[in-house]
Structure 1
Amino acid sequence: MEAYRYPQPMASEITPRSYFLSRRTLIAGAAGSMLAVGHTDQTAQAAAGHAGGEAGWPAPEKPTPRNDVTQYNNFYEFGTDKSDPAELSGAFKPLPWSVQVDGMVDNPRTWPLEDLTRQFGQEDRLYRMRCVEAWSMVIPWNGFPLAAVLKAAGPKIGARYVAFTSVFRPSEMPGQRGGLFALKWPYVEGLRLDEAMHPLTLLATGVYGEALPAQNGAPIRLVVPWKYGFKGIKSITRITVTDRQPPTSWNLMAPEEYGFYANVNPAVDHPRWSQGSEQVIGEGSLFRTARKPTQLFNGYAEQVADLYQGMDLRKDF
């Protein structure tokens, strides 16, 4: 396999969890509802595309209020309305859990969730996230790099892609029981291997310093901040390394609307709406929702643009 081109963040560059939580408590006590996450300059740039802040606590953007992050979701396994995941996920049982890692690897293994978190640790990352429906949030995730799991598995020569499979439990997930919605279950997704190995790509197990709630993808989900949110497959049960581009749920359902890459590109509109601007959830006034121009690669172009050199990003969308 070709040598990996991107430096892995050092442990010293990741905000200690105690700082993250104490900072959150301090801000909550002073301001009531908002959280601030600290990073070194390099980590801040990786997490949000630019540095800012003061006194060693650069906070490039304010996180979206926790209530919005946990109550306004796309998770079609529970329903199609934004409120359905929070309202209809009470029967879902995220523990015990395990993730099978297989395919073109030297060390296939089924990992209990507690072993994954014990071996690969937890990092706090503030990421801008954007949905294809033209809304965005800034979310403080907790998790570990997908690259760490893949390196432990040892991709074989010739491996090019990583496929992901979500859980299939119709008895606990009412959206999987049929109806008019055309997605096939279980939900599947995929990345190129170099995308999966990029240091920004995260397997998240928590949000706001707490375990993921069911509506946010409990107990483990994918976070790829420069791509549209539907790439962030939730409740992952299997990760498969392969030499072929894997199928993805939305591309299977509507290939003319949802490409394999799903890179945020304001120059490529969805067939039914513009992607040139976005609604910022949790900002604005009672009568007017905040909007802002959409950034290429969701603002992470400096970190990820060279992954796509020579590609036509209008064709490979």
Structure 2
Amino acid sequence: MRYRNDLSENDVTPEWLWRSRRAFLRDALLATAAWAASPLVTRAAGLAAAPNPAFRLAEEPTPLDKVTGYNNFYEFGTDKEEPARQAGSLRTRLWTVTVDGEVNKPRTFDIDDILRLAPLEERIYRLRCVEAWSMVIPWVGFPLAALLKQVEPRGNARFVQFVSLADRQQMPDLGRGVLDWPYREGLRMDEALHPLTLLTVGLYGQVLPNQNGAPVRIVVPWKYGFKSAKSIVAIRLVEAMPATSWNQAAPREYGFYANVNPAVDHPRWSQARERRIGDFFKRPTLPFNGYGEQVASLYAGMDLARHF
């Protein structure tokens, strides 16, 4: 055993080191306190989202472990199970979303700003993916229109483009070059303003998991899942139809509109039937994913086989 008077000058911790340790601990405690107090945690994880009875389905929700374990998020892997394993590297705090373009009041929102815009509500929506599988998910969010209202869209804003994060340090599969990153999607303005289009921050009463598009994504339930952009960092209101990632990569397979339409097959498989995750048998695919009564009027007079 060495006693105090046995210590040499080299045994004493340098001042710069103990000061940096104290600073690190202080910053870590402050960050933890800020995170715990944030609306993202207290409102979403705290189950403060009121269920909206107008958006309930007579269908069993897909179990949470399936919703969070079987995902399309190519920035974290092309296999369905890879995002759940790899998305832990995504840093979702100090997150901002820039909203600009054809607007009178361009603005950058942080995630807490977004959560103050409108009361959170829980909506149970079907999610239909182009690979002919589907889920039923209790999402937490509010209509995208509440955010767009804050920036005052101009009269010539006809489309809305969404841009996702593209950071190779956080997203290991960006280097594969599957798509031209960052991921981009878009909606027509009337689609973006439709009450069904949800700015989404959670699911099953919890903060949105990384592999499901944390901390903020779009959910457009009458369209195939690739239209619902994840981990959004920018929203741009534009006059011309914006480029979208899958439409650029394979225009014969992925149209701009991507409305769920059992009568229009993907070139490599039929879209007439779907398999609900957890079920053995397939079921008929519903036009507009079952939301035709609410949204079919948006496409009156359009040839939905050509505008797919």
Common fold by TM > 0.5 = yes
**Separation in 2 of the partners of 1:151 and 1:214?**
27
What is the 5 A alignment of 1:232-311?
232-283=228-279, 289-311=280-302
- Cα deviation code 1:71-127 (max 9, x no counterpart): 000000000000010001121111110100000011110001101101223111000
SS of residue paired to 2:247 = helix
Corresponding residue number in structure 1 for 2:163: 165
**Separation in 1 of the partners of 2:234 and 2:81?**
27
**Separation in 1 of the partners of 2:228 and 2:188?**
14
CA contact (8 A) 2:52 2:121 kept: no
Q: Which residue identity does 1:191 align to in structure 2?
A: L
Larger radius of gyration: 2
SS of residue paired to 2:274 = strand
- Cα deviation code 1:199-239 (max 9, x no counterpart): 00001000110101110000000100000000011000000
**Separation in 1 of the partners of 2:179 and 2:191?**
25
CA contact (8 A) 2:164 2:230 kept: yes
Which structure 1 segments of 5+ residues have no match?
1-16, 23-36, 49-59, 284-288
What is the 5 A alignment of 1:1-317?
39-40=52-53, 43-44=54-55, 48=57, 60-177=58-175, 179=176, 181-283=177-279, 289-317=280-308
SS of residue paired to 2:251 = coil
SS of residue paired to 1:290 = coil
TM-score (norm 1): 0.81
CA contact (8 A) 2:223 2:259 kept: yes
Residue 39 to residue 146, structure 1, CA distance change in 2 (3 Å): closer
**Separation in 1 of the partners of 2:210 and 2:123?**
20
How far apart are residue 290 of structure 1 and its match?
Answer: 2.8
Q: Which has the higher helix share?
A: 2
- Cα deviation code 1:172-214 (max 9, x no counterpart): 111102x3x5311100000000000000000100011010111
TM-score (norm 2): 0.83
Residue 219 to residue 21, structure 1, CA distance change in 2 (3 Å): closer
Q: How many pairs does the alignment contain?
A: 265
CA contact (8 A) 2:99 2:106 kept: yes
Which structure 2 segments of 5+ residues have no match?
1-42
**Separation in 2 of the partners of 1:201 and 1:314?**
23
**Separation in 1 of the partners of 2:116 and 2:195?**
19
SS of residue paired to 2:281 = strand
Residue 224 to residue 172, structure 1, CA distance change in 2 (3 Å): same
Percent identity (aligned) = 58
